Amino acid sequence: MAFQLPFKFSGGGSVTPIDIRARQSRMMEYDKPLLWVIILLLLLGMVMVYSASIALPDSPKYAAYKNSYFLTRQATFIAISGMVALVAFRIPIATWQRWAPYLFLGTMFLLLLVLIPGVGVVVNGGRRWLSLKIYNLQPSELMKLFIVLYAADYTVRKQEYMHKLTKGFLPMALAVSVVGLLLLLEPDLGAFGVIVCIAMGILFLGGVNAVWFGGIAGMLVTVFVSIIALSKFRRERFFAYLNPWDEANALDKGYQLTHSLIAFGRGEIFGVGLGGSVEKLHYLPEAHTDFLLAVIGEELGLIGVLAVIGMFYWIVKRAFEIGRQAIAIDQTFAGLVAKGIGIWIGIQTFINMGVNLGLLPTKGLTLPLMSYGGTGVLVNCLGLAILLRIDYENRVLMRGGRT
């Protein structure tokens, strides 16, 4: 058997002890490529928000604002979110698991507060915000993260009952139904859809009974179809999505979609150049929020859009890899949270991009990390900080350390 002495001979004949730490694994303590992808998306988003909003003060609605208003606020949101993320990264995952039920209930209370006249702030016909004077808080964004933590904690606590309806699946389904009811009263069908997908995805990964899962999934599809069919506004928007170029739709319910598609068409392969968008000049509504990808497509072209898609793919891929590694070392809660964050970012990104490209009906969901918005950026950074913490704890445990 090979044998290595615990010292080595220097050139001058002296004996030098070997540094044991130098022989340890060179594994990084955190996922640097993932962190850089997140930072790149935040910075690119800030640049594109500035580009998409620079002409807004020309309109009467934003006449009192400066050209750099949205850039300044987005930069402030990113700076605050970065500091919050640094604090969140230092919190052990076990602590997040203890807090999960309380965070979920607290956010549900905020969703209830939003519905109270005089408390909830109404913007564009939706009562979705709480005024904090300096900016508006959107509780539905918080719920997207806290439903991940709560569903993961619930699955771990109820693991032995996950194949039973009354003790396993039903309580979680009722909790999500209450959240869904509160969101529909705002109304915010998009957030409800994302939250349902997150909860169902985590329950599926946690081993819920396949028969009950299939039955509830079918029932949810029926519910969503009924909501659209029974709402005249949503029904008209859906039919406009099917034929946006019809004369009656192009200037009404299909207006955003047609101008979004025009923006992508103008961008072609390499784009018209940063700042050169025409559609952002009061043709494309909400260009700095829900339809930011259309501006990216117009100014940076197919290449820019593919780069953004690639970066989001990397985040989702790494989330599932980190989750799989956590489960492999018996950190089930951490693994489900990591995969839940991947589902959340992946589903919301897919819906936003699908809406921009005309693959899905128009829905008010922002592009994670990139679109303008304080609560959205804050919660995205908080969730990804938790993901990075899970990866960090995985690496520590694989070295034989303690978290």
The string of pLDDT tens digits covering residues 40-74 is 999 999 999 999 999 999 888 888 889 999 999 99
pLDDT digits (tens, 9 = 90+) for 91-118: 999 999 999 999 999 999 999 999 998 8
Looking at the predicted structure, is the pLDDT value of residue 178 above 70?
Answer: yes
Among 173, 208, 230, which residue terminates a domain? 230
Choice among 108-117, 329-338, 355-364 with the minimum mean pLDDT = 355-364
User: How confident is the model at residue 16, as a pLDDT?
Assistant: 47
Residue 230: burial class (beta carbons within 10 Å; 0-12, 13-18, 19+): exposed
User: How confident is the model at residue 212, as a pLDDT?
Assistant: 73
User: How confident is the model at residue 7, as a pLDDT?
Assistant: 45
In a domain, 348, yes or no: yes
Among 201, 230, 259, which residue terminates a domain? 230
User: How confident is the model at residue 267, as a pLDDT?
Assistant: 95
Most confident of the following: 174-188, 227-241, 374-388: 374-388
Does residue 109 share a domain with residue 153? yes
User: How confident is the model at residue 20, as a pLDDT?
Assistant: 40
CB 202 within 8 A of CB 339: yes
Choice among 209-223, 282-296, 381-395 with the minimum mean pLDDT = 209-223
Does residue 225 share a domain with residue 123? yes
What gap in Å lies between CA 327 and CA 394, rounded to an integer? 10
Does residue 266 share a domain with residue 191? no
Does residue 207 share a domain with residue 265? no
**Which pairs with CB-CB distance under 8 Å and at least 24 residues apart come from 251-260?**
253/362, 255/285, 256/284, 256/285, 256/286, 256/291, 256/362, 257/355, 257/358, 257/362, 259/283, 259/284, 259/285, 259/294, 260/284, 260/291, 260/294, 260/355, 260/356, 260/357, 260/358
Other CB atoms closer than 10 Å to residue 72's CB: what's the count? 11
Query: What's the number of domains the chain is made of?
Result: 2
Does residue 294 share a domain with residue 173? no
In a domain, 177, yes or no: yes
Does residue 334 share a domain with residue 272? yes
Mean pLDDT score across all residues of the chain: 88
In a domain, 377, yes or no: yes
Instruction: Place 190 in a pLDDT band, splitting at 50, 70 and 90.
Output: confident
Choice among 130-134, 150-154, 228-232, 327-331 with the minimum mean pLDDT = 228-232
Does residue 196 share a domain with residue 151? yes
Show the tokens assigned to 253.
Answer: 């319910």
Does residue 361 share a domain with residue 295? yes
Instruction: Place 27 in a pLDDT band, splitting at 50, 70 and 90.
Output: low
Nearest to 375 by CA among 124, 111, 112, 149: 111
User: How confident is the model at residue 344, as a pLDDT?
Assistant: 97
pLDDT digits (tens, 9 = 90+) for 163-174: 777 777 788 888
CA 265 to chain centroid, in Å, comes to: 27
| The one-letter amino acid at 23 | R
CB 254 within 8 A of CB 246: yes
In a domain, 163, yes or no: yes
CB 333 within 8 A of CB 151: no
Most confident of the following: 7-21, 131-145, 346-360: 346-360
Nearest to 271 by CA among 307, 317, 233, 241: 307
Output b/e per residue, 83-114; b: 16+ Cβ within 10 A.
eebeebbeeebeebbebbeebbeebbebbeeb
Looking at the predicted structure, is the pLDDT value of residue 4 above 80?
Answer: no
Looking at the predicted structure, is the pLDDT value of residue 2 above 80?
Answer: no
Looking at the predicted structure, is the pLDDT value of residue 288 above 70?
Answer: yes
Does residue 380 share a domain with residue 334? yes
Tell me which residue range forms the domain holding 299: 40-52+66-90+244-398
Instruction: Place 26 in a pLDDT band, splitting at 50, 70 and 90.
Output: low
In a domain, 19, yes or no: no
Q: What is the mean pLDDT of residues 149-168?
A: 86
Does residue 354 share a domain with residue 269? yes
In a domain, 22, yes or no: no
Looking at the predicted structure, is the pLDDT value of residue 24 above 60?
Answer: no
In a domain, 7, yes or no: no
In a domain, 303, yes or no: yes
Among 198, 230, 262, which residue terminates a domain? 230
